[in-house]
Amino acid sequence: MDDLSSVNRKLGHTLVALHAFDLVARFGNLSGAAEALGVTQSAISQKIKGLEAELGVTLFRREHRGVSLTNEGLRLLNVVRPAMSQMGGSVASLLERKSRPRVRISADFSFSTFWLLPQLSDLREELGDEIEIQILASQAPPEKGSEDWDIKIHVQSFSTIGKGDVALLRERVAAVCSPRFLAENGPIASSQALLDHQLLSLSKPPSAHWQTWQGWFEGLGISGERSKNYISFNNYDMVTQSAIAGNGVALGWLGLVDGLIQQNLLVQATEDVVVSNAGYVMSRDHSSTRRGPKLVFDWIEQRAANPAARRAVSAAQL
């Protein structure tokens, strides 16, 4: 442990000298390294001499027009240069991120795929490239107190909407399937009859609030046993793909799957639509003075209020 501590202290002490060493080797002289670091040539010479004394080896041969690496110097360079390049790249990336505002949007997979994704090009076009957009898709909303998001869009009860939150989309859910499935298994006389058909289900985490088949049937006053077990998925993209492939009937959130219905990839299996007192709610920290989250928040709110302007997801995007 004492040896390790000694190495760590020496490494911390010699890191600046190692940077100087890498630059001298890169330029082949002390003056180039000194100019790159904004110090005097004498300061660079002292760093190199100190590093050689610390390591107990000669790293450079002093020549008439510069320096050249010794075998020991070349051996050290083969280790130091990749590390310096990696550190330099990481620091440059962090500095670029600091100079370019970043907005992290936490949303579930359904909203991310079927609402946000088709709007990204318009968002970029209108707000420009000055803001870095990150979409953090997850089935469950962030835990309370989490700071890993700037804008949060998840399903919740409208009765729990907080001050400054925006209700983007009320939950309106229909039973949907592919035209082929309906042709082969229909007509489906009523939603009650769906209990005898293959149902495709989205697995629901305890903290999520979206509609399930059980809640959908209860909303219509339908009870009874299913004749077939669910085919369940943990991702709504897979649910819709399975429905499009003709594997069964899925719940379709109107306002999200409209594009797939317009393209005749999905159709309503029955006429019933269950409307709940929940839906997609958008939140952000309104006390924040950061410009990026406010711009994106306001843009999404305006786009949600104007359905005619929204782009729908296409089959190629799934």
Average pLDDT, whole number, for the chain? 87
Number of other CB atoms surrounding residue 78 within 10 Å: 9
pLDDT band at 172 (very low <50, low <70, confident <90, very high): very high
Quick check: 281 and 165 in contact, CB under 8 A? yes
Question: pLDDT value at position 102?
Answer: 81
Helix, strand, coil percentages for the chain (3-state, nearest 5) = 50, 20, 30
Question: pLDDT value at position 138?
Answer: 85
| CA–CA distance, 271 with 275 (Å, rounded to integer) | 13
| CA–CA distance, 214 with 253 (Å, rounded to integer) | 15
Each residue of 229-239: pLDDT tens digit?
999 998 899 99
| CA–CA distance, 235 with 251 (Å, rounded to integer) | 13
Lowest average pLDDT, out of 113-117, 145-149, 212-216, 221-225, goes to 145-149
Quick check: 251 and 202 in contact, CB under 8 A? yes
Percent of the chain with pLDDT over 90: 57
Residue type, 281: V
Each residue of 30-62: pLDDT tens digit?
999 999 889 999 999 999 999 999 889 999 998
Could you give the C-alpha distances from 213 to 111, 263, 295, 308, in angstroms and in order? Answer: 19, 25, 37, 30
C-alpha 197 chain-centroid distance: 36
Taking each continuous run of H as one helix and of E as one strand, the counts in the chain are 11, 10
Quick check: 293 and 147 in contact, CB under 8 A? no
| CA–CA distance, 29 with 18 (Å, rounded to integer) | 15
Which tokens go with 108?
Answer: 């579930």
pLDDT band at 292 (very low <50, low <70, confident <90, very high): confident
Q: In what order do the strands lie in the sheet with 250-253?
A: 132-137, 102-107, 151-157, 267-284, 166-177, 250-253
Q: Is 113 exposed, middle or buried (0-12, 13-18, 19+ CB in 10 A)?
A: buried
pLDDT of residue 107 exceeding 80, the answer is yes
Helices (H), 101-178: 109-111, 117-127
| CA–CA distance, 276 with 211 (Å, rounded to integer) | 8
Instruction: With both helix axes pointing from N to C terminus, report the angle between 41-55 and 30-37 in degrees, rounded to the nearest 10.
Output: 110
